[in-house]
């Protein structure tokens, strides 16, 4: 799989990384905001 990043350009991902990204534990984190609970109160 090829991934295109704004900063690093085009990269090729190993199959094990693709499997990790598509795993259920990481998919559960999809809605988690890096700012934590602050994101609930400060809308931008």
pLDDT at 38: 77
pLDDT digits (tens, 9 = 90+) for 1-44: 888 889 999 999 999 998 998 999 999 888 787 777 777 787 66
C-alpha pair distances (Å), 11 with each of 30, 36, 38, 41, 44: 22, 29, 33, 36, 31
Q: Which of 43, 1, 38 is nearest to 22 (CA)?
A: 1
pLDDT at 19: 92
Contact 10, 21 (CB under 8 A): no
pLDDT at 44: 62
Q: Which of 18, 24, 16 is nearest to 3 (CA)?
A: 18
Domain range summary for the chain, segments of one domain joined by +: 2-31
> Exposed, middle or buried: residue 26 (CB in 10 Å: 0-12, 13-18, 19+)?
exposed
């Amino acid at each position: 799989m090829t991934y295109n990043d704004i900063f690093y350009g085009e990269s090729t991902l190993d199959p094990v990384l693709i499997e990790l990204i598509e795993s259920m534990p990481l998919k559960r984190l999809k809605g988690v905001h890096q700012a934590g609970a602050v994101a609930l109160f400060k809308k931008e």
